[in-house]
Amino acid sequence: MVNAYNMSRQMTRANHRIGFMFVTGSAVAWSLGGLFTRLIRLDSWTMCAWRGIFGAIGLAAAMAVLRQRDVLSTLRNMGWLGWIFVLQSGAGMIFYLSALTHTTVANVAVIYATAPFLAATLGWAVLREKPSTSSIAASAVALLGVAVMVGFGTRGGLTGDLLALGMTWTMASTMVAARHYREIPILLTACISSLVSGLLCWPFGAPRAVTGHELMLLALFGTINFAIALPLFTFGARLLPPIETALIGAVDAPLAPLWVWLAFNETPSLSTLIGGAIVFAAVVVHLIVSETAAT
């Protein structure tokens, strides 16, 4: 009995570490979005359209490599939960893009920083998972760090703020759904949601006017932002409590200006450096506390 208990604890810790690495990887991949936005001088709708389509192509290639050939059968048996997962994942990307066109980037960042608390509430309501004191404290510190980065006195439109809130809700719901409904086919649903988001944005941009160089950058953007980030995020969310998934995802905020600084030599502001350090510290301290408690 003791050996079985110890093996169970070791498996739980191993799954936690794998989940942490996967979600961290997705945050790093998503944080490159700002860099691609600077490199590709196109409107947001065109970028989102091609990003979604190239993401779907990349995910389809991944399924082919993994020899997931029974796609039609999986589609037929995916069920209504799988299709809801597809729609909310695609809607989250659309909400995000629309929010950026109706309010400030700062407002979107601050609103999304509340995702850990929303995820914790949904996780408790659906999964009956009570968030740890460490997770709640770290989420509060991370929210403070994001607020320091973008400024406390941000202003924006109400419509954009509501869209950002909708994006935050869909992401928190995705975290809970991925953890609770483990039978959902991750790669297939991610591929469909990526394609749906791209097709929905297509009519609002000018996707046929891109150059060959821009198309190459868009292919890289779509592959990293969708084909890599979305599966990593969803697989990782299956192994972590929703509040931890959202907390680790918060490192996206301080990483985004880092890549722009490295690529364009744009020195980040003091508030960005201080806020980013606070976010990183919150995640690292929480990880250390979690590992210590598990031993």
- 7 part of a folded domain: no
Determine the pLDDT at residue 68. Answer: 60
Determine the pLDDT at residue 276. Answer: 80
Domain that holds residue 265: 42-294
Q: pLDDT of 209-260, one tens digit each?
A: 899 999 999 999 889 987 888 888 888 888 888 888 888 888 887 787 788 7
- 23 part of a folded domain: no
- 68 part of a folded domain: yes
Question: Which string of b and e fits 200-223 if b means at least 16 CB within 10 Å?
Answer: bbbeebebeebeeebeebbbbbbb
Determine the pLDDT at residue 25. Answer: 93
Cβ neighbours of residue 212 closer than 8 Å, sequence gap 6 or more: none
- 47 part of a folded domain: yes
Nearest residue to 251 (alpha-carbon basis) of 224, 197, 291, 287: 287
Question: Whole-angstrom Cα distance, residue 254 to residue 160?
Answer: 22
Determine the pLDDT at residue 295. Answer: 60
Nearest residue to 190 (alpha-carbon basis) of 49, 42, 58, 4: 58
Determine the pLDDT at residue 153. Answer: 52
| pLDDT mean by block of 10 residues, the chain; 295 residues | 55 80 90 81 85 90 72 68 77 74 66 77 78 82 79 64 82 79 76 87 90 93 86 85 83 79 77 81 80 64
Q: Specify the length of the chain in residues.
A: 295
pTM for the whole thing?
0.78
Nearest residue to 249 (alpha-carbon basis) of 181, 187, 196, 178: 178
Q: pLDDT of 64-94, one tens digit each?
A: 776 665 666 666 667 777 777 788 777 887 7
Site of tokens 């700062």: 106
- 2 part of a folded domain: no
Determine the pLDDT at residue 202. Answer: 92
DSSP string, 128-193: --PPPHHHHHHHHHHHHHHHHHH-TT----HHHHHHHHHHHHHHHHHHHHHHH-TTS-HHHHHHHH
- 245 part of a folded domain: yes
Question: Whole-angstrom Cα distance, residue 140 to residue 131?
Answer: 13
- 110 part of a folded domain: yes
Instruction: Give the angle subtended at the CA of 5 by the CAs of 121 and 20, to the nearest 5°.
Output: 45
> Mutual orientation of helices 79-102 and 105-112 as an angle, nearest 10°?
140
Determine the pLDDT at residue 50. Answer: 92
Say how many domains are in the chain.
1
> Mutual orientation of helices 186-201 and 79-102 as an angle, nearest 10°?
40
- 15 part of a folded domain: no
